[in-house]
Amino acid sequence: MSARERPLRVLHLDHTGAAGGAELALVRMLQARPDWSAVLQTPPLEPGPNVWDAVPPRVPRRSAGVRQPAGASSGGPLAVLGFGARLAVQALAVRTSAAFRSADLVDANTARSAAYGALAARVARTPLVVHLRDLVDPESLGGPGHALMTRVVLPRADGVIANSRATLDSARRFLRSDAVAEVVPSASGLAIGAALLVSADAPLRTIGMLARIDPWKGQAELLEAFARAFAGRDIRLQFAGGAPFGHEAYLAELHRRADELGVGAQVDVLGHVDDVARLLDGWDVAVQYSTRAEPLGQNVLQYLAAGRVTVAADEGGPAEWVADGVNGLLVLPRDVGALAAALTRLDEDAALRARLSGAAAATPGLLDDLAVARAHLDVYERVLAASAR
């Protein structure tokens, strides 16, 4: 059978079993039954359940190399040296694996896996596609991570898939001129056309944020704004998302601060939530308020598709999807007062809430997971065609 008569063989690399946004996006795409033959490869993972347990049985899961602990690229010289050593070992393990040797194309799902994937692919002809889910700057990637991305990964990448124009623009100057570069939103489990819209006849009851618990995701800022606007009211604030990368102390700080602000009894911390659609149906207003420019969290797309009244920081990828006063509200970044004012405005204007809810669900360009997979396949085929030339 020739290469054209069989499905494309794609090796998907990821470095962790934690339920981060990148991992959930890949799980959703593989669940959508994409038109390629997929193999998932990770380093050895911690014993017990992990995010990849939801991958369909038809997708082989392989393990190679050494564990890649979170945060290993930060710290002192010894920590960075250990991080580099683990990357080198992982690159060798990937390069010598049967899954790599049989792949037509390697797709690195995270920045860490892109680093060792690029090292593995450097001495091979196998095309490499890199997912860009963070802005390519030192603040987002850290100093060592930024150096690896700009000096090793992007110059080697045959193709990149960015989650927003802002993300892609931050990477362009580091790419080869012949690299295929495309913006494709992450698979977010969107059910297009199934939104339960907010009614103008119902009072505002619940405000929520769907994001992993992390200081830069803006939970603390939303908590402060909520307290200014709704302390003592019959309105709830819900945080949905786990703390997968060692942010338990930040979670404890959120609980303590809620009590200090007098809203502890109004705040629910739900942890990781599997049934996102049901969660969002219970919210009136959904907020994204990261403290640095967000490349494009899946939450904004999920909010819009679910017909939630969407409030987002006016920068980065979210501002490419939310038009202020049209399908949501954009708020000055890092301004708790402005966020509180936006929430108060929505509380006082039920007609506005209903109008924004309907427009959110009708936002052009929203894709379900199968459509996202098809957009990925188009990129893969373009990369292979360019590599053949």
Question: Is 310 a member of any domain?
Answer: yes
CATH of the domain at 217: 3.40.50.2000
Both 221 and 165 in one domain: the answer is no
Average pLDDT of the residues in 349-364: 98
Both 322 and 373 in one domain: the answer is no
Both 175 and 217 in one domain: the answer is no
Average pLDDT of the residues in 371-388: 96
Is the pTM higher than 0.85? The answer reads: yes
Question: Is 52 a member of any domain?
Answer: yes
**Model confidence pLDDT, tens digit, residues 208-244:** 999 999 999 999 999 999 999 999 999 999 999 988 7
Both 24 and 168 in one domain: the answer is yes
Question: Is 193 a member of any domain?
Answer: no
Both 29 and 52 in one domain: the answer is yes
pLDDT of the residue at 4: 55
Question: Is 201 a member of any domain?
Answer: no
Given a cut of 90, is residue 2 above it in pLDDT? no
Alpha helices in 306-363 (DSSP H): 318-321, 336-348, 350-361
CA-CA-CA-CA dihedral for 33, 37, 43, 47, to nearest 10: 50
Structural domain harbouring 146: 3-188+368-388
Both 265 and 331 in one domain: the answer is yes
Both 338 and 268 in one domain: the answer is yes
Question: Is 194 a member of any domain?
Answer: no
Both 7 and 154 in one domain: the answer is yes
Question: Is 170 a member of any domain?
Answer: yes
Both 128 and 8 in one domain: the answer is yes
DSSP string, 25-87: HHHHHHHT--SSEEEEEE----SS--GGGGS-TTS-EEE-S----TTTTSSSHHHHHHHHHHH
Mean pLDDT of the chain: 94
Both 168 and 220 in one domain: the answer is no
Both 19 and 161 in one domain: the answer is yes
What is the number of domains present in the chain? 2
Band of pLDDT at residue 74, cut at 50, 70 and 90 = low
Question: Is 198 a member of any domain?
Answer: no
CB 276 within 8 A of CB 299: no
Both 244 and 166 in one domain: the answer is no
